[in-house]
Structure 1
Amino acid sequence: MHRSPRPGLLMTAALALSGVAACSGDVLDVTVGDCLDRSDLQGEQVSSVSTLDCAEPHDVEVYSQVELPEGPYPGEDRVRALTEEHCTTAFEDFVGVPYEDSELYFSYLTPTEESWSDAEDRTGLCLLLADEPVTGSLEGAGS
């Protein structure tokens, strides 16, 4: 998957062929409501992450997802544009204020051409990023 806007976080979810252990696993298994550690999201492509209980300190929360259109891979720019548009709209619904008015920022994960073709991955994930570790959800944070 690809990473996205603001502070240089733009990721690509790569097709991971490794097994899953406990709370650690394939990035394709990450869903809305999962909390993560930003250190798992470093690099141009991300193939595996460890999910955290949101009651524990974390600095990333998956707040929305978008199902991208069926068909051949439309290209990295189009996949990113569709995901970013969705994440910007979903941000206000989740946080409670428009993105432009918030102190929080988001990024996203998008399918690579490989995961699109080999794993039929059509999901873009919206990630709410905190500057410092938080406990609990940032839903309704209003900032």
Structure 2
Amino acid sequence: MNRPARTALTLAALVGLTGTLAACGGDVLALEVGDCVNQSDLQDTEVSSVTTLECSEPHDAEIFGAVTHDDGDFPGEDEVKSEAQEGCITRFEEFVGVPYVESEIYFSTLSPSEQSWNQADDRTSLCIILAEEKMTGSLEGANR
């Protein structure tokens, strides 16, 4: 069975941002594996800021992996998204504990746009678990 990830997102142009997260919201380039967020911050096709939460607080999305793309010219949106999805599928099993095709959990990716690639030297796609309901804690090792 081939289970696609949910809609992939693109990082907005982020020229001049410091990479510092603020309590009310922060630079999406500063997100790291282990950060918890809410899907409502990720609903636009281009995302430039997001509020991180302690994973002990209610949230419905969690960064579970990062895929680093090769340096060079922007390979195109389709190629970046394809590389991100392939990398995230591998990282999904490592994080959740079961292969993605067997899991009840979905994920999405947050990938560089051509503009953030060229202007912010962004080469990282993030893998984001999407929960159907708010949760507290992490889905690491959930085995479902």
Aligned partner of 1:45 in structure 2 is 46
Which amino acid is 1:65 matched to?
Answer: A
Aligned partner of 2:141 in structure 1 is 140
Query: Where do residues 109-124 of structure 1 align in structure 2 (5 Å cutoff)?
Result: 109-124=110-125
Paired residues in the alignment total 138
TM-score (ref. length: structure 2): 0.91
What is the CA-CA distance between 1:26 and the residue it aligns to?
Answer: 0.9
What is the CA-CA distance between 1:23 and the residue it aligns to?
Answer: 5.3
Q: Does structure 1 residue 11 correspond to structure 2 residue 9?
A: yes
Aligned partner of 1:74 in structure 2 is 75
**Is 1:23–1:52's contact at 8 Å kept on the other side of the alignment?**
no
Summarize deviations over 1:70-109 as a string: whole Å, max 9, x none: 0000000100010000000110110000101111010010
Q: Which 5+ residue runs of structure 2 have no aligned equivalent?
A: none
1-side partners of 2:138 and 2:121: how far apart?
Answer: 30
2-side partners of 1:123 and 1:140: how far apart?
Answer: 24
Aligned partner of 1:95 in structure 2 is 96
Superposition RMSD on alpha carbons, in Å? 1.4
Moved more, 16-25 or 72-81: 16-25
What is the CA-CA distance between 1:59 and the residue it aligns to?
Answer: 0.4
Query: Where do residues 51-62 of structure 1 align in structure 2 (5 Å cutoff)?
Result: 51-62=52-63
Summarize deviations over 1:6-57 as a string: whole Å, max 9, x none: 44x3211112356753252111111100000100001211110000000001
Report percent identity of matched pairs.
54
1-side partners of 2:24 and 2:109: how far apart?
Answer: 20
2-side partners of 1:30 and 1:23: how far apart?
Answer: 14
What is the CA-CA distance between 1:129 and the residue it aligns to?
Answer: 0.7
Runs of 4+ in structure 1 deviating by more than 6 angstroms, as ranges, are: none
**Is 1:75–1:113's contact at 8 Å kept on the other side of the alignment?**
yes
2-side partners of 1:31 and 1:89: how far apart?
Answer: 17
2-side partners of 1:6 and 1:116: how far apart?
Answer: 22
TM-score (ref. length: structure 1): 0.91
1:73 is paired with a residue whose SS is: coil
Q: Which 5+ residue runs of structure 1 have no aligned equivalent?
A: none
